[in-house]
A and B are shown apart, each in its own frame.
Chain A
Amino acid sequence: MKMILAHPQKCVSCHLCEGACSFKHEGAFQPAKTRIHVHDFVDEAMYVPVTCFHCSDAPCLSNCPTYAITRDADGMVHVNDDKCIGCKMCLVACPFSVMSFHEEKNVSQNCDLCGGDPQCVKICTYDALEYVDVEPIEWAVRLDIAERPAATAS
């Protein structure tokens, strides 16, 4: 399965990913309704894009009382709007707080990878977001973490 990998050390906090996400899904620019969020720690000079990890053991899925959240054949976790009753159990269950709630539609929503062409990744000119296979991600994440002390030392 491919997923979105974020490199916080490359992020510059431009929030273009949020704009692209809301434009794709809402047809308008509205960061309040985006499915990817950039958290700015301004004083620490750290900007962290966070979106759904499509967890292997997804707490949102296992806690959904109406079985509205399922995993498709590719491994992607998604919300079935018809079955979602807007109880927000998944928002509570998500350990990364990336499940969000769409007030008008009264349903939960997570990243749907834009059907395989994630707009957030496409618009990021800083390579802070990548759309990559799960397998090499483990390695990439380890490398990211290893690079931080290395960068400080140099």
Chain B
Amino acid sequence: MPYGWIGQLLRVDLTSGSCAKEPLNMKWAAEYIGGRGLGTRYLYEEMDPSVDALAPENRLIFATGPLTGTYAPTGGRYMVICKSPLTDAVACSNSGGYWGPELKFAGYDMVILEGRSPRPVYLWINNDHAEIRDAAHVWGKNTEETEDTLRAETDPQARISGIGPAGENLNRVACVINDKSRAAGRSGVGAVMGSKNVKAIVVRGTGAISVADPLTFGEIVFESMKEINASPTTSMALRGMGTASTVGFTNAVGMLPTNNFQTGQFEHADAISGQTIAKTVLKRNKGCYSCPIGCARVTEIKPGGKYSGHGEGPEYETIFGLGSDCGVGDLDAVLYANYLCNLYAVDTISAGGTVATAMELVERGYIPPEDLVEVGTELKFGNADAVMRCLELMSYPKGKFSKLLAEGGYRLAEHYGHPELFMGSKKQDFAAYDPRGAKGMGLGYATSNRGACHLRGYSMTVEWFAPPDQRVDAFTPDGKAAIQKELQDKAAAEDAVGVCTFASFAATPPEKLAPMYNACTGENLSVEDWMKAGDRIWNLERLFNNGAGLSRKDDSLPPRMTREPLSNGAVQNQVVELAQMLAEYYRVRGWDDDGNPKAETLARLGI
């Protein structure tokens, strides 16, 4: 067994109903680190990027990294990789929880689903044994009911990753949920699972993962744990208030997207902030597998109000998506909407973005009233009832409008003749940082291979959150291309190896992660090699996208970002100078003017 790896993947042909084990391609594993990189390598090899994302020809790959399942800090991640039905680009959604490690303990580094099952099924993997089982009895059920039912009929210690009604109904912002509340959230990977008629993958494993150099590995890990505990970002902000700790800051400077990015400050921001959550609805914090940070929020809506329930969340992104961006400042409503998204299994960012887009279309009178009858309540900013109703409609689409909601914000806005009101890039909604206040984020949104995403190149770290002596001017477009490239390559390598990007805030820069990877796998990558592997992953994703028909025109931002300045907070009067940054970015990346990697770039990276 190779160190860090199991060395085996499970291939499931859903059309014929067969499961087969095969050896992992260790050459690719070494070149692409694992997870996001390795999964994309298989995807690129095995499918034509131009096929419809919801066709049986699309692959759906569940991939772990070499650190997944070890005690590396935050070493519990897995990724879902496929062609996205939302962006028509590569999709790679990352999730924590416990499912990824369990897959490795069961004896597989990856699962590749191909074809389409003639009927609803789930996959039951019990160590060596893998079988396709009928899922008629859980089809239509929400994620909680599904998980409880499937665990009861398999193993009490089984871990489950699967879809809710939204994915079954091919909602383009449907996600995959594991462990009831951890989401491989973005780019509609849940719809691809639904298109294959697969409800869930249930896993139980009792095997082991070995590492090459246990002594060195242990030393690096324990040192990282100390750093995470010493860093205020990880041990105080994230552990104490979760990702929601960011609300106060973004609102203060005017970067908290509100009412579909029409403003950057929200009058009810305090009511939905991390501090308020910690003081009111928070029951306790929680960590994913091997996580020393523990940013997850276990919450409960206090009884007596309009809503009730308990679950995990909200994250900062959810507070924006289902809160400020829809003008909703009632914390209970945000929590309830979050729980609904987890039950239906839709991405809280894009579901919120879709509703916010619809609200602005209505505000401007672009949607005829007869189309809105289905909603049954006024679709306007601030109306929490409308948010709940839209989440239900997009997960169980029946009429014309609900079907449009299930297509996501871009297609909805395009249908009504105003695609410019969709706030995103490559048809995927922006995350919760208005890029007009951090130009690097603007370039990052535009160039992200999976469509707008804050995690692909999280330049907030250097544009706003770094110590003053290391901070770069958030408002200048100069130099942002090189910063984005470095951050994108770094994040690609993190995703590939199987850790969470939050660990890198305190303890796992490439200088630490590369040696940790080496001690785990027995490879011998320098920091330079490590960043080059990230670069390689990024370029391969780009090649997939270009093969799918994407080009420079898709590295775009809506005119609101490039022409309409914000009028509030410290970031007022700013727009994103995208054209300038993009030209520089292509140069830094070694791409031609159309955004195609040059031959010498591919040769340098060994692609």
Q: What is A's interface to B at a CB cutoff of 8 Å?
A: 9, 12-16, 19-20, 22-23, 26-33, 42, 45, 47, 122-123, 125-126
Contacts and interface: CB of A to CB of B under 8 A. Distances in A.
B242 to A, nearest CB: 12
Contact of A32 (B71, B206, B283): B206
A32 B210 contact: no
Contact of B206 (A19, A30, A47, A123): A30
Contacts of B71: 16, 19-20, 23, 29, 123
Contacts of A123: 71, 221-222, 225, 292
Q: Which of A9, A12, A13, A29 has most chain B Cβ within 10 Å? A: A29
Contacts of A20: 71
A118 to B, nearest CB: 13
B147 to A, nearest CB: 9
Contact of B288 (A14, A30, A47): A14
A19 to B, nearest CB: 4
Given A12-B285, A12-B286, A19-B290, A42 B208 contact: no
B210 A13 contact: no
B430 interface: no
A23 B214 contact: yes
B66 to A, nearest CB: 11
B320 interface: no
Given A9-B284, A31-B105, A125-B229, A14 B209 contact: no
B266 interface: no
A76 B105 CA distance: 31
A33 B208 contact: yes
Contact of A27 (B205, B207, B210, B293): B210
B98 A28 contact: no
Interface string B566-593: 0000000000000000000000000000
A126 B294 contact: yes
A30 B105 contact: yes
B283 A45 contact: yes
Given A19-B70, A19-B71, A23-B218, A30 B209 contact: yes
A15 B98 contact: yes
A16 B209 contact: no
Interface of B: 69-71, 76, 98, 101, 105, 179-180, 205-211, 214, 218, 221-222, 225, 228-229, 235, 283-294, 296, 298, 300, 310
Given A30-B209, A33-B208, A12 B294 contact: yes
A126 B207 CA distance: 27
Q: Which 6 A-B pairs have the closest CB atoms?
A: A14-B287, A32-B206, A19-B71, A30-B208, A28-B208, A12-B287
Given A16-B292, A23-B218, A125-B225, A32 B209 contact: no
B209 A28 contact: yes
A9 B71 CA distance: 22
Nearest to B179: A42
A16 B290 contact: yes
B538 to A, nearest CB: 29
- Highest count of chain B CB atoms <10 Å: which of A14, A45, A122, A125: A14
29 contacts: A12-B286, A14-B287, A14-B289, A14-B291, A15-B290, A16-B291, A19-B290, A20-B71, A22-B208, A23-B71, A23-B214, A23-B218, A27-B210, A28-B209, A29-B69, A29-B71, A30-B206, A30-B207, A30-B208, A31-B101, A32-B207, A42-B179, A45-B283, A45-B298, A45-B300, A47-B286, A123-B225, A125-B228, A125-B293
A41 B288 CA distance: 14
Given A19-B70, A22-B208, A32-B206, A12 B291 contact: yes
Nearest to A103: B206
Contacts of A15: 98, 289-290
Contacts of A26: 208
Contacts of B211: 28-29
Nearest to A10: B284
B198 to A, nearest CB: 23
Contact of B208 (A9, A14, A29, A126): A29
A100 to B, nearest CB: 12
A31 B180 CA distance: 21
Contacts of B235: 125
Given A13-B286, A14-B289, A122 B222 contact: yes
A29 B284 contact: no
Contacts of B310: 45
Contacts of B291: 12, 14, 16
A20 B289 CA distance: 12
B214 A27 contact: yes
A24 to B, nearest CB: 9
Given A29-B210, A125-B228, 9 more contacts: A14-B290, A14-B292, A16-B290, A19-B290, A27-B210, A30-B208, A31-B105, A32-B205, A126-B287
A30 B70 CA distance: 9
A29 B225 contact: no
A33 B207 CA distance: 9
A31 B286 CA distance: 19
Nearest to B1: A28
Contacts of A22: 208
Given A12-B291, A20-B71, A125-B229, A28 B286 contact: no
A9 B283 CA distance: 10
B48 to A, nearest CB: 38
Among A15, A16, A26, A30, find the residue whose CB has the most chain B CB atoms closer than 10 A.
A16
Nearest to B293: A125
Contacts of B293: 125
A86 B105 CA distance: 25
A20 B290 CA distance: 10
Nearest to B221: A123
A36 B482 CA distance: 47
B284 to A, nearest CB: 6
Contacts of A47: 286
A23 B211 CA distance: 9
B451 to A, nearest CB: 31
A126 B105 CA distance: 25
